Amino acid sequence: MTVSIGNVEIEKTAVLAPMASVADRSYRLMCKKYGASYVVSEMVSAKGICYSDKKTSALCTVTPQERPMAIQLFGSEPDFMAEAVKIVLEYNPDIIDINMGCPVHKVVNTGAGSALMKDIKLASQITESAVKSAGSVPVTVKIRSGWDSQHINAVEMAKALENSGASAIAVHGRTRDQFYTGIADRDIIRQVKNAVSVPVIANGDVTDAESCIDMYEKTGCDLVMIGRGSYGNPFIFEEISARLAGKEYIPPTVQEKMSVMLEHIRLILSLSDKPEELAMHEARKHASWYMNGYYGSAKFRGRCYQLSSYAEAERLAREFVDLQALKGFQSC
C-alpha cells in the first residue's frame, strides 16, 4: 500500500523524521537500507541558502539511494522562502518540506520553526510562497500541536496550510513548550486528520512496531514518522515493515548490532571531508546509541565519547560483544 504526496508515491510503512545534527546522509542511508520508505534532510536555512552558505548547500544534495527524499527548509520570511525553494529545486528533491515545528531557541528566536504556530497568517504566506516557487514539486509542512497547552491550534494551522497549497501535513503531537518531554498527543493528530483532505503524517513516541501500529489505528494517519526511536536502531523500519506485512521479525543479536554500528561509522568516515579524528566526533553519539539496552551499556556509552579512530571503535565493539557473552545477555 502506498500514500501519494503530490506526484510522489511513498510506501505506507514508516518514514524517517528530519533531525538536525543527527539525520545526515549516513544516517538516512542506514535507515533506508533497513526499510525507511521516505527520508527528510536536516533543516536548511532559507536565508542561509539565499546567501550561498556553503555548509547549507551541502545539506541539499539528494542521492539516488535516498529517494524519495525531501529537503527541509526553515525561515520566517516569505520572500526568502520563495527564493530558497528555487535554489533547492536545482538539487532535484522529490518533496520540499517546511519546518514549522522546531522548538530550539536559536530557530524560534528568528520567528521560524514552532514560533510560526503563533502566527498562522504568516505561516500561510510562507507556505503559499513556497508552493508558487516549487511548481510541480509537492510542498509539505511539519508542525506541532501548538505553542503551549493554552494554545493547541494544530487543526486551525493545518486547515490554513492546506488552503495555502500544502500537499501534506506532518504533526508532532507535542507543544513547543514540551520540547520532547511528556507524552505525544495522538488525539490532536486524529483531529488534524479529520479536518484536512491532504495526507497527514504522525510523529511522536513511536519506538517499535507495536507503537507504530497503534499510531496508525488511534489517529487514522496516512504515514508514521519516526525520530528518536531510530537512534542506534535503523532496524525499527525493518521491524515495522515485517509486522505490517504479517511476517515474523527476528531482532538483531548484539553481534549484528555492533556490526551495523561499525558499518555506520565507516559510512560517516567515507562521506566526511574531515580528518578521521574529527570525523569520529560525529560518529561518537551514534556509536553510543547502538549500545543502549544492554548490560554495562552506560560505561561503554561513556567510552564511545572518547573515540578518535575507527580502530578504537572496532576494539570497543569487540569488548562490548564479549561482555554480553560473558554475562549471558544478548538483548534487553
Enter the C-alpha cell of residue 44.
536548511
- Comparing CA positions, the residue from 131, 155, 130, 151 lying closest to residue 143 is 155
Residue 100: what are its φ and ψ, rounded to 5°? -125, 30
What's the CA gap between 206 and 276, in Å, rounded?
A: 34
Q: Which residues contact 109 (CB under 8 A, 6 or more apart)?
A: 115
**HSE toward the beta carbon, residue 121, CA cutoff 13 A:** 0
212 is catalytic: no
What's the CA gap between 11 and 57, in Å, rounded?
A: 28
Strand partners, 32: none
What's the CA gap between 18 and 217, in Å, rounded?
A: 23
Q: Which helix (H) or strand (E) holds 97?
A: strand 95-100
**HSE toward the beta carbon, residue 36, CA cutoff 13 A:** 28
Q: Of the listed 31, 50, 60, 102, which one is catalytic?
A: 102
| Burial class (CB within 10 angstroms; exposed 0-12, middle 13-18, buried 19+) of 198 | buried
User: Is the omega angle on the peptide bond into residue 68 within 30 degrees of 0, that is, cis?
Assistant: yes
**HSE toward the beta carbon, residue 10, CA cutoff 13 A:** 32
Across the beta sheet with 15-16, the strand order is 15-16, 223-226, 200-203, 168-175, 139-146, 95-100, 69-74, 39-45
Q: Active-site positions? A: 102
